[in-house]
Homo-oligomer: A and B are copies of this chain.
Amino acid sequence: MRDFLPADVRKREYVIGIIKEVYESYGFEPLETPAVENLETLMGKYGEEGNQLIFKILKRGEKLDQSLDSLGGLGSKEPSGSEGTLTSKTFETSKTSQTDLSDLALRYDLTVPLARVVAHHRNDLPKFFKRYQIQPVWRADRPARGRFREFYQCDVDAIGSTSVVVEAEVIAAATEILARLGFRDVAVLLNHRDVLFGILEASSVPPEKHTDALTALDKLDKIGPAGVAEELIARGVFKFDEASAFVELVRSKVQFQAFPVRDVPTNEKELRQENYENNLFHLGEFEKVLEQSEAGQHGIQELRKLFELIGSESSARVSFHPSLARGLSYYTGTIIEFGLDNNDFSGSIGGGGRYDGLIGMFGKEQIPACGFSLGLERILVVMEERGMFPTEIADSTPADLMVTIWSEETIAESLKLAADLRSAGLRVTVYPEPDKFGKQMKYADQINVPYVAVLGETEIVEGKVTLKNMKTGEQETIDRDQLVQAVSHKL
């Protein structure tokens, strides 16, 4: 886990600020949930591996004593002397004790807390609840490069409607955020759970092999067509020639030219239009392939509506990607993934989709939902690598100006000057004690303030102040009441 020093915080807040502003312009509202949830709310929602990765909080006081007592009790029932069973006994103790010794846990994602909130606060929320949430989550992973055990998620979800309008708006908002952050190579991949089912039906994969087939297929971008075919055979889904045909079918995706939006402005519009038509054409081709599958037909229809709503104006390159499954998660409809064409380390920078089945797990009512999560930490890493932060964020300073202190006797004058400058809207720091002039300037240099207001004995007597530009070294002595104007003008 990391400390964020001021320069880090400023960059994070810049990105988060834009995310919030765009989501709010789409009518999404902020929600915050506590870091700590009941353990039972989280257990069983993220699969067996997820259960292990949840940070669990130790019970306290009497409850802890009771749990330890009952664990001890279990232990004493073991026949003594049977040393051979020690390992398996330990293992079982540990499995039970994790939930016996703990009653609370750290938030693992923002989706399960949302489902809990929607189920519990149903009457306090509007019929369609559009919320965004930007908060940290915790996972007890072994930390790897660029992965941390505490990291922020930026989620946006629209609850209550099955309409594809929701998907269109979620995609438009995320696209706008990335455009405003300065990304010019955003690629959006779209698929539909029913298209995946349709493909399996059309290829006569028996239902009991669906999970195996999708698990293999989801790796297409990582291990390539040959790798997927191999895995399909190993998992007993297909024989050799069937496997290749299956992979070919899915792999055939829209082939188009990538268009760097800013670099080729002349034919940008044309390329977008071509891309749009390619997608519709490709959906049509797939519709024929999935003719016999009702689910497949439905998936294609939904995607076609979505592509039509997105249209040809999006600043991102949107494409139909029939192998996209996003790890067999809880998606029930549209599946969305955002990536970067020129990404230096591969992987998505956001993803989401429709999940109409999750909220029902927390309440009586089944409520449809569609959500999207932006990968804040990835976005920050790429922006750093590409030097995408605006100068005022990248070269951030704690203040616009520092006021010096001449002596014990002139402290009050320096504080008054600082107060005046602040009421005029400047960010002003005061050197905290009377000190040698050289030391004060050295500190101003260290904290990188652009201006220093020197308030010496002469200046005070004459009602003046010496303004020093720290970059050029220039300085000028001016009337005190002209200082605000002089600095504001230069900043």
Chain A residues with a Cβ under 8 A of chain B: 1-6, 8-10, 12-13, 24-36, 52, 55-58, 60-61, 64-65, 68-69, 71-72, 75-76, 90-91, 93-94, 97-98, 101-102, 104, 106, 113, 117, 120-121, 124-128, 130-131, 136, 138, 140, 149-150, 158, 160-163, 165-166, 168-169, 172, 308-309, 311, 398-399, 402, 405, 411-412, 415, 419, 422, 426-434, 443, 446-447
Contacts and interface: CB of A to CB of B under 8 A. Distances in A.
8 contacts: A3-B32, A6-B131, A25-B422, A27-B402, A35-B150, A65-B90, A126-B443, A128-B431
A53 to B, nearest CB: 9
B36 A1 contact: yes
Contact of A102 (B58, B309, B402, B434): B58
A160 B428 CA distance: 18
Given A56-B57, A58-B58, 7 more contacts: A1-B36, A9-B31, A12-B32, A27-B427, A158-B432, A163-B434, A169-B432
A25 B421 CA distance: 9
B57 A69 contact: no
A376 B90 CA distance: 46
Nearest to A448: B126
Nearest to A173: B422
A146 to B, nearest CB: 16
B429 A26 contact: yes
A6 B29 contact: yes
Contact of A136 (B35, B68, B398): B35
Contacts of A13: 30
Nearest to A4: B32
A93 B68 contact: yes
CB-CB nearest 8 A-B residue pairs: A27-B429, A1-B34, A163-B433, A6-B29, A161-B432, A9-B30, A27-B399, A4-B32
Given A26-B422, A131-B6, A430 B34 contact: no
A122 B428 CA distance: 23
Contacts of A6: 29-31, 131
A103 to B, nearest CB: 10
Contacts of A429: 26-27, 130
A4 B31 CA distance: 6
Given A25-B427, A415-B169, A428-B27, A126 B433 contact: no
A32 B9 CA distance: 7
Given A5-B124, A94-B65, A126-B443, A55 B55 contact: no
A75 B101 CA distance: 17
Contacts of A128: 431-432, 443
Contacts of A34: 1-3, 150
A309 B2 CA distance: 38
Total copies of the chain: 2
B126 A446 contact: yes
Given A3-B33, A399-B27, A56 B58 contact: yes
A406 to B, nearest CB: 13
Contacts of A162: 433
A58 B443 contact: no
Per DSSP, are chain A's interface residues mostly helix, strand or loop, or mixed?
Answer: mixed
Nearest to A165: B432
Nearest to A133: B9
Nearest to A402: B27
B75 A140 contact: no
Given A30-B13, A128-B432, A130-B398, A65 B36 contact: no
B64 A94 contact: yes
Nearest to A53: B60
Contacts of A4: 31-33
A236 to B, nearest CB: 33
A143 to B, nearest CB: 12
Contacts of A29: 6, 9, 398
Contacts of A431: 128
A102 to B, nearest CB: 5
Contact of A57 (B57, B97, B399): B57
Contacts of A32: 3-4, 8-9, 12
A433 B36 contact: no
B125 A5 contact: yes
A127 B446 contact: yes
A119 to B, nearest CB: 12
Contacts of A2: 34
Contact of A430 (B5, B27, B399): B27
